[in-house]
Structure formats: C-alpha cells, structure tokens
Structure 1
Amino acid sequence: MTVDPFALLLLMLRKQAGRTQEQQADAINAASGRITVTRREISRYEKSENIPTNHTLEHIAVACGVPFEELQREAKAARARRREARRHDEEDLDAMKRRTVLEGAIVGVSAAAEPWQRLAAVLQRGSRVDEASVAALIDRAADLHLQELSLSPRHLQYKVEAHLDAITAVLPQAGQHERALTISAGETAALAGWVAWDLGEHTKADAYYKVTENCAAAAGHPPLRALALAYASYGDHAPVDKLRYLHQAAQDVRGRGNAAAAAWVHGRYAEEAAQLGDDAQALQALERAQFAYDFADHTSEQAWVRFVTPYRMDSLALSVYGQLRRAELITTADDALTRLGDGLPDGGVVVLGDLAIALLRGGDVEQGVHVTRKFAAAAQAKPTTMGRDRAHAIAGSLPSDQRDLAHHLRQLAS
C-alpha cells in the first residue's frame, strides 16, 4: 500500500522525537490523560490505513510540540485525497497513489506548503533546513515561554520536551541557522528544567540547566546562561552558591536589550540576600532591579522575560521587604493590591502568595485573609513548587480564627 504524504509527516514527527511507535502512543496518551491510541494505531496512521480524528490530532500536536492547526490542515488534505482516490478504479487508484507519494517524498523544501511539512521533507532528504522552518521552531519555543504562565506544569512538560526533541533533530541540518537554533534549544531546555523543578524532578532540572549553559557557550550568548543560573538559584543549593549563580547571571545580562532579564536577576539576588539577613546587599540589589525594569521592553527582548511583569516586580519587592521586616512593606503591599485590582494576572499564584504574606505580616489581616483565599484557589488550580512554599508560609501567618483556611493551605503545601 502506497503511503500518503500526511502519513509520512506523522512518521517524520515521530522519528525526529526519537520515539518508537509504542513510545509515540505513550506520549499521545500522556497528553490526553487517558488511553486513546495503541502502537498498532500509530502503525496504521503511518501506513495510511487510517487518519487520526481532530480530537486525536490535538494530542499528537501536544506530544510532538507542533501547532494543531498545521496537523489539522494536513489531515484535511489527506482526507480529500482519500475521497478523490475512491472515485477511481483500482488501476487509477494505484497510479494516483504512486504519484502522490513520489511528490511527497521528493517535494522541494521551498515548495512545501507548511513549515512542518517542509521540516519533514528536510529530515527525509538530509538536506539543510530552510529559513521558514527555523523561524517556525523559534516561534514555537517563544510561545512555550508564554504558555508557562497559564498551563499546568505537567501539561507544559510534554509540550516543551517534545519541542526540544524537534529542535535537536534539526540542529545537524541547521547550517547558517545553527546559532539561532542553538539559542532556541537552550531557551527550551531551560524551560524544561524549570518545569521539571516545579514537578519535584530536581536531578532532571539540573541536567537541563547544564545543557542550557552548554548551548550558551556554543552560541556565545551569555543571557542564555543567565536564564539557567537564575532558574537554578531556586533549587536546593547553599545560599552562598545561589548568590554566586545570581552574581554571574547579573554579569551575563549587562548591556542593552536585557533590561527585563536584569530586573529579574537583580530581584532574585535581592531575595536571596534578604533571606541571609543582609539588608544592605538586598536593598541595593532591589533598587537595581527596579531601575532596570524602568527600561524594560518586552517586545524586543528575549521571549523568556515575558513573566517579568509589574506584578512580578511587586512580588519580588514584597518578598524582600517582608523578609527584612522593612517599613516599606505596608506601602508596597497597598500599591500591589491596587495594581492587582479584582483580576488575577497570568502566573498570579506567586504574586498572590507574596501579597498575602505581606498583608498578614504588615497587620492588614482582613485584606490578607481575602487575598489568601484568592491565592488558595489559584494554587489549587495550578499546583507548583513555589505555590506550595508560599502556602506553607501563609498558613503560619494566619490568625487563630482561620484554622480551617490554614489547614487547607497546609494540605496544598504537602
């Protein structure tokens, strides 16, 4: 039986992810949260014996780290080809399919309709990857950093690791695009590390951060190392090591075009210095963070700085002032509460947690309990390591008449 170009595309996506048919089925089932396909079904897809439904295509897209709309379009074209084929007799059908697979196998990179179809052709022919395919991979990596604010860690992990597989498969054919793809691979690996840490997979996280630093060295791109070091500073390391990581990260984001990244790195340094009780260092670093943020331009800087929002800067300041027991805590909490309003920003679990702690420590118990309830709902909807840490801290700051709420938070923390 001759193979349809869409079946070839599915085959190429699996191979570039480095999976067997059974592993591909497992990845798709993990994305869906239940058993929806088997190894035999994967084989049928790749032999043109069956075409996945749109529902299954959604899970394939997640498992392979590709846009659902692209797969849906290619599947629709495959179904149309199948309907057309059924109008001919057996001889015409065989001839038509031979032409189709020939066209699909030798289609030029520039002539293919979609980036992912071009990528499949590049991998099949072993030629250089084209500029449009590189742009699609880089854009996908940037989009994953935006999705980090809204997706659960487990859901995001499948998407990020699948996309990292895709970039890794293409790198040997990158040619003149090697540096850009290496940077994108490093950014994706750093996000994979962060998600792994959020899920408690600390050894895995450290391995991803290390390979991110390797990508930074290979590409000659210091801000990428800063990303790995700043993420690693949240890990289970000695305080002096965390400050050393962040000091190096601050050196890596010096210069134009890194203002938002510098704001985050200096803010993290301030948090860790405050944790050690070093008032002078903490306040100096926080001032640098706030100064850098005044020059931030998220539209022109790296995609991974999108989470450094005014809300996140409020959170960093609240964390520092709260640990140092500074008088600025009260006014900063009031300003943060005003900025937050009735809404909840993307990635708001950490922001709400720090705000609740600040209000409770600052003496505004009524408002603190109100924000705590919002935090509890957000933390339950999107469980993360940072959310659990803050749940534990808030539970210990609640007044005695909020025992039920404190108990709920301790359950979230555990």
Structure 2
Amino acid sequence: MSWTSAAIRDASRAGDYGRVVHLARRGAGLSQKELGDACGVSQSAVSRLEQRGANGVYDTKTLARAAAHLQLPPHLVGLADHAAALAANADTDGSVERRNFLGGAVAVAAAPAVAAFKAATTEPAAADGGPAATLRVVTGGYRRLDGTTPARQLVKPVLEHLELTQSLAKGVQDHAQRNRLAAVGSEVASLAGWLSWDMGDYGSARTWYGAAVKSARRSGQPLLAAYQLGSLAQFEAHAGNAQQGLSLAQSARKALGDRPPVIADAWLASVEALCHAAAGDAEASDDSLKTAIRFADRVTNDSTPWPWVFTFNESKVAATRVACGARLGRSDWISSAQDSATAVLSSGHEKQRALLILDVASGHLASGRIDGAFALATGALEIGLRFRSGRIVERARALRRSYATPRSLPRVVREFDDRLYEVFL
C-alpha cells in the first residue's frame, strides 16, 4: 500500500499512528515479527503499537524506526523529519511517552528547535523542514492535549511556545523561512485564543485571535488568513456579536479567493450559519447550513487538505445545526440533526462534546422535556467543572436563565442549581 493512500492519510489526520503503521506494514507484505526484527522490538510490541489508537501513548523511537523501515514520511506518524532522525538513531531506550503528537514533539521541542534554526540560517531548508516543522508538530500536540487537559494548565506553555516561535522568526533572514515561522506563529496564537475562550477570558481571546490573523497575513498564505478570520468570526458569533461575526466571515471569503478548497467553503458556510443564528435570522442560517452540507458532500479524501483544521464533514454540519437551533430556540432543528451529529457527540474531545450536549439540552428544554434537559445539562456541567472550563459553565448558566422558574422546581433543576451556584472559576 502506498503511503499516499487515503486510508493512511485519514489515519494520520486522526492521530491513529498505530493504524498508519499497520496499513503500511500490510501494504509492504511484512509480518509483525519481521517489522519488529527490523525495529529491534518484539512482535508483541509491534502488535501493541498498532492497536494504540488515536488516544494512545506512543514510543517515539519505535515509531520513528517503523516509519523509516516502511519508508513513511515522519509527519504521517506525528514526527518532524529531524525529530524522527534523533529518535530512530537513539542508542538508549529513551522511551518518551506523550499523548498523540507530543510523543514525537515535546521531547525534542527546545534544543532541537534551536539547533534546527541555526542550521536553517546557514543551509537551504526543504519546504517542510527547519524550525517551523518542529514548532508546528509541537503546536499539533498542544491542540490534541486540549481535548483532555484543562486550558489553565495548557495556556502557559502555549504562550511560551508562541514566544519561542516569535523570537526565532525575528532572527531569520531567509524570506521563505520567515513566512513559514509566521504561519506557525499564527497557528499558536489561534490556539492561545481558543484556550482563553475556554477559560472565559474573552478579552485575551480577541487579542490572540487578532494576532493570529496578523501573522497569517504576514505568512503570505491566504488559506490560513481565511481560517483565522473565520475562527474569529465563530468566536464573535458565540459571544453574541452577530454583525461583527458576519463582517469577519465576509473578509474570510475575500481572503479565500475565487477557487477555494471545497472543505474551506463548507466550514466557512457553517460559520456564517452561526453568525446568522446569533442575529436571530433563522432563514439565512438555514440557507448557510444547506450550503455547508452541499459542500461537505463534495469533500473527499483527495480534496485539497487544510492541515490546521480537523476533519469537517456532514456530522460537523449537523452539529452546527444543533448549535444554531439552540440559539434560535428551534427544537425541531436540534431533534432533526441530533442523530447525524452522533460522531461529534461521541468524540474524544470532552469539552466540545459537553458544549454540544448543552445545545441538545436546549432543544429538550424548548420542547418542554425539563427532566431530560437538566439531566443532560448536569452531565455537561460536570465535564466543565472537571476541566475548569469557563466557557462550558457560562453556557450552562445561559441554559438555566432560559428556563422560566416555576413556583415548585423539579428535583433535577434543584440539583442542577445546587451544583451551578457553588461554582467559582
């Protein structure tokens, strides 16, 4: 099987590096024992590696050696080129375990990044090499940790990562290298904005999203600039600033140009739907959602990649319809789209799942199913408290405000109130 196959690329994008190795090994006609012998590990170690999944913990050295033997580009198993070389050539056991991308990134983030930077200033670098490659992999690791880690724990190292990226960019003379570092800086700033938003710090979120837009423009990558403008539009829509969100979405459209990738069109249409819903315009929101699903139907494994966006498909559009329905008080939208949004509701990103559950709870509430609404909301609130997510807690408070309190509160509402009122984040 070629490493360019859709199945391998899909597994890599999902962070399931064990499946990447499994598919490549089968394609090469090798047994697990043969690959293990080539990598200096047992057959059972290869078997365990292949079964770790998207949330597994990977050994950097084994991944790198497997990729080298199977002639897989290191990025398909979450490693930068020079990070893979360091790991594959290590003489000691050096088992560095980190979640997802961090298995191949954080362990080599500091010194190798500086070393690669120095090399890049004296030698020509490949388009995907140099310090930008290392920094981007680390950024991907932090993004994946966001699904399982409180934002308050991540924001400090992410901001330090941003400072490192910016400081390296200042000393680069090569124009192409400087642009690549500006692109990485944009991605890191966007992540800082997302984390600030999760903490309920809207002022910092706007600052970092704005910085992401500026860096994207400096990078000379219109697609990245469009994504960051769209991300800021999405934030403003959720914050209730509909017109500002629509204006930013329009700017993102202009940045995309005349022939954007279909996945970009699909995602941006969903952002526009959220903005229209925030403005209370159900008809315009529905039109944008229909546009989004029409483009999403055309997204294939061979579509132009948008590497800083997770998979966007019909399930994501359905989740957006649920979110729009919650803001418009349209329980029919929520009930009709809930089943199609199952992939998002069952995703490993607990914080995003909690937000969607609160939107589903809004649909139950609008339909008069009080017990079901607050049972769902209580479960989502517990996730928010575990991650100390200000965004989830505030969304839970908004749900409670939308419920007209009767003289006699149902027990499930009283229990929800008791849990919510003791929260101080």
Q: Does 2:303 match 1:316?
A: no
Tell which structure's C-alpha radius of gyration is larger: 1
Aligned pair partner of 2:367 in 356, 362, 368: 362
**Which stretch of the first structure deviates more once superposed, 119-128 or 364-373?**
119-128
Aligned pair partner of 2:414 in 374, 393, 403: 403
1:412 Cα shift? 4.5
Aligned pair partner of 1:242 in 222, 242, 245: 245
Matched with 1:87 is none
Matched with 2:223 is 223
- Secondary structure of the residue that 1:304 maps to in structure 2? coil
Residues 325-381 of structure 1: per-residue CA shift (max 9 Å, x gap): 446325325415755677764431211111111222234444433322321221112
Matched with 2:397 is 392
**Which stretch of the first structure deviates more once superposed, 165-174 or 120-129?**
120-129
Aligned pairs for 1:11-410 (under 5 A) are 117-121=111-115, 127-128=121-122, 130-131=125-126, 132-133=129-130, 134-171=132-169, 172-173=171-172, 175=174, 176-233=176-233, 234-235=235-236, 238-253=241-256, 258-296=261-299, 301-306=305-310, 308=312, 312-326=316-330, 328-329=332-333, 331-332=335-336, 334-335=338-339, 345-346=349-350, 347-396=352-401, 400-401=409-410, 402-410=413-421
1:353–1:390 CA contact under 8 A, matched in 2: yes
- Stretches of 4+ moved more than 6 A in 1? 340-343
- Letter of the structure 2 residue corresponding to residue 409 of structure 1: L
Identify if the C-alpha distance between structure 1 residues 160 and 340 changes in structure 2 by more than 3 Å, giving closer, same or farther: closer
1:337–1:355 CA contact under 8 A, matched in 2: no
2:193–2:204 CA contact under 8 A, matched in 1: yes
Q: Report % sequence identity.
A: 18
Matched residues in 2 for 1:149 and 1:307: separation? Answer: 15
- Contiguous gaps of at least 5 residues in structure 2: 1-78, 95-107
Residues 45-89 of structure 1: per-residue CA shift (max 9 Å, x gap): xxxxxxxxxxxxxxxxxxxxx99x99x98xx999x9xxxxxxxxx
Identify if the C-alpha distance between structure 1 residues 290 and 146 changes in structure 2 by more than 3 Å, giving closer, same or farther: farther
1:278 Cα shift? 1.6
- Letter of the structure 1 residue corresponding to residue 142 of structure 2: L
Residues 75-117 of structure 1: per-residue CA shift (max 9 Å, x gap): x999x9xxxxxxxxxxxxxxxxxxxxxxxxxxxxxxxxx7854
Q: Tell me how large the CA RMSD over aligned residues is.
A: 3.9
Matched with 1:14 is none
Residues 304-332 of structure 1: per-residue CA shift (max 9 Å, x gap): 32175666433321122233344632532
Matched residues in 2 for 1:180 and 1:219: separation? Answer: 6
Residues 170-212 of structure 1: per-residue CA shift (max 9 Å, x gap): 2233623332222121111111122223334444333323322
The number of equivalent residue pairs is 313
1:226–1:253 CA contact under 8 A, matched in 2: yes
1:290 Cα shift? 2.2
1:274–1:282 CA contact under 8 A, matched in 2: yes
Identify if the C-alpha distance between structure 1 residues 295 and 272 changes in structure 2 by more than 3 Å, giving closer, same or farther: same
- Secondary structure of the residue that 1:151 maps to in structure 2? coil
- Contiguous gaps of at least 5 residues in structure 1: 1-65, 81-113
- Letter of the structure 2 residue corresponding to residue 351 of structure 1: L
1:281 Cα shift? 1.4
1:260 Cα shift? 4.0
Higher relative contact order (CA 8 A, sep 6+): 1
1:333–1:358 CA contact under 8 A, matched in 2: no
Matched residues in 2 for 1:174 and 1:149: separation? Answer: 37
Identify if the C-alpha distance between structure 1 residues 295 and 413 changes in structure 2 by more than 3 Å, giving closer, same or farther: farther
Matched residues in 1 for 2:378 and 2:358: separation? Answer: 10
Identify if the C-alpha distance between structure 1 residues 280 and 263 changes in structure 2 by more than 3 Å, giving closer, same or farther: same
1:164–1:185 CA contact under 8 A, matched in 2: yes
Q: Give the TM-score normalised by the residue count of structure 1.
A: 0.63
Matched residues in 2 for 1:360 and 1:237: separation? Answer: 21
Identify if the C-alpha distance between structure 1 residues 345 and 135 changes in structure 2 by more than 3 Å, giving closer, same or farther: closer
Matched residues in 2 for 1:124 and 1:345: separation? Answer: 37
Matched residues in 2 for 1:340 and 1:243: separation? Answer: 25
Identify if the C-alpha distance between structure 1 residues 255 and 280 changes in structure 2 by more than 3 Å, giving closer, same or farther: same
Matched residues in 1 for 2:422 and 2:276: separation? Answer: 29
